[in-house]
Amino acid sequence: MATWNKKKITLESGEIADAQAPEIISASRSTDIPAFYADWFFHRLEVGYSAWKNPFNGVKSYISYDNTRFIIFWSKNPKQLLPHLEYLKSRGIGCYIQYSINDYECDGLERNVPSLTERIDTFAALVEQLGVGGVIWRNDPLVLTDTISIDELLDKAAKIGDQLKGLTEKIVFSFADIAVYKKVRANLDKNGIKYREWTEELMHEYANRLSEMNKNRGWNFKLATCGERIDLQKYGVEHNHCIDDELIIRRAYNDSELMKFLKVKIESIPQNNLFGEVTHLPSDAILLPDGKRYATRGNNKDSGQREFCGCMRSKDIGEYNTCIHQCEYCYANTSKEEATRNYNTHNANPMAETITGR
């Protein structure tokens, strides 16, 4: 479990409290902050802190944003971030967005997301501000049902990928692992979705065909899976680092404080000597956008995540049971009703310390 520097903060009530002061924020694996709580988040960022309740024991703790240098956003509809990105720049805070775009419009799996056309327009608008690499396409989870086959999932991916060509560097996908996650299974059963489990054979087939599509359609995306045990490297599919220190370094290598936190060393790319001999870079070298330097970093892996999660250390500030996209396969909500109740309490007190307004 990642640990962070602690500091004393003054709450809006005037009380003094202990707070974690993380350098990297995840906003959020637990809910869709950009879609539903963007104004709350940026208000709390300006105030300097927010509160968070542990999902397992309900204990309330505080997060100070005094040391925050980078934010990773996760969303199915990050349009509400657009007016706030300039504020992040003014604060010297970097970011990138994990943007989940699926084409389940006719399948009833994502009832409260905007149209596919609108979501792709939002993707392009975000790239215009953040640049290619600042927005990552997540095509997940991949759900098999009695009406959705591998052929259909690939057709859906082709439809999206053709429109995102040139706008992103990577596609991240995951296979819906329904049997393992009780919430997901319960939600699908409750809503009458006749799902099918992925087998290793089906995963290999999907990865192979997606890889061929990536080449044949000229996308040239990096392919990666999120949190999957299965090895698909022979199809050019890597294990992803959704909180990715390499990407953070490429986007924020001029931030000396953040580089210090990530244990980064930056060196000049060596020139050939007089005899034309090449000095080879370290195997883990990260080439920087200036074309003149490379970086190496220490071990930043978050040991508190799932076994096959490659994420780096970050502090997630979201809370479960607060997302109202109402996706049928949701892992973050116990029920749609509870999520709606919490969203309503948020709206009654929208700038409170916590997302729920309590």
Helix (H) or strand (E) segment spanning residue 17? strand 16-20
Q: How far is CA 9 from CA 20, 231, 293, 302, in A?
A: 10, 45, 39, 26
CA 63 to chain centre: 19
Query: Would the pLDDT of 277 be above 70?
Result: no
List the structure tokens of 291.
């074309």
Q: Do the Cβ atoms of 144 and 195 come closer than 8 Å? A: yes
Q: Annotate 112-163 with DSSP letters as a single string.
A: TSPPHHHHHHHHHHHHHHH-TTSEEEEEEEE-EESS--HHHHHHHHHHHHHH
Structural tokens at position 27: 């906003």
Whether the pLDDT of residue 57 is over 90: the answer is: no
Nearest to 123 by CA among 161, 178, 153: 161
User: What is the pLDDT at residue 260?
Assistant: 95
- State the Cα–Cα distance between residues 20 and 64, nearest whole angstrom: 6
Measured in degrees and rounded to the nearest 5, phi and psi for residue 28 equal -160, 150
CA distances from 39 to 6, 42, 164, 346 (A): 26, 5, 27, 12
- 183 touches 330 (CB < 8 A): yes
- Can you tell me the distance from the alpha carbon of 204 to that of 323, in angstroms, rounded to the nearest whole number? 32
* pLDDT at position 251: 97
Residue 190 confidence (pLDDT): 81
Under a CB-based contact definition with an 8 Å cutoff, are residues 112 and 326 in contact? yes
| Residue 358 near residue 34 (C-beta atoms within 8 A) | no
The answer on pLDDT for 130 being more than 90 is yes
**Res 302 pLDDT > 80:** no
Beta bridge mates, 257: none
State the DSSP code for 77: -
Q: 70: closest CA among 315, 319, 272?
A: 315
User: Residue 13 CB: number of other CB atoms within 10 A?
Assistant: 8
- Residue 275 banded pLDDT, cuts 50, 70, 90: low
Number of Cβ within 10 Å of residue 279's Cβ equals 9
What whole-number distance in Å separates Cα of residue 89 and Cα of residue 69? 11
CA distance linking residue 142 with residue 184, whole number of Å: 13
Q: Which of 322, 325, 101, 326 is nearest to 191 (CA)?
A: 326
DSSP letter assigned to residue 282: P
Question: Which amino acid belongs to residue 46?
Answer: E
Separation between Cα atoms, residue 97 and residue 127, nearest integer Å: 10
Burial of 23 (0-12, 13-18, 19+ CB in 10 A): buried
For the cut 80, the answer to whether the pLDDT of residue 276 exceeds it is: no
Task: For residue range 160-212, list pLDDT tens digits in order.
Answer: 999 999 999 999 999 998 877 777 888 788 878 899 999 999 999 999 999 99
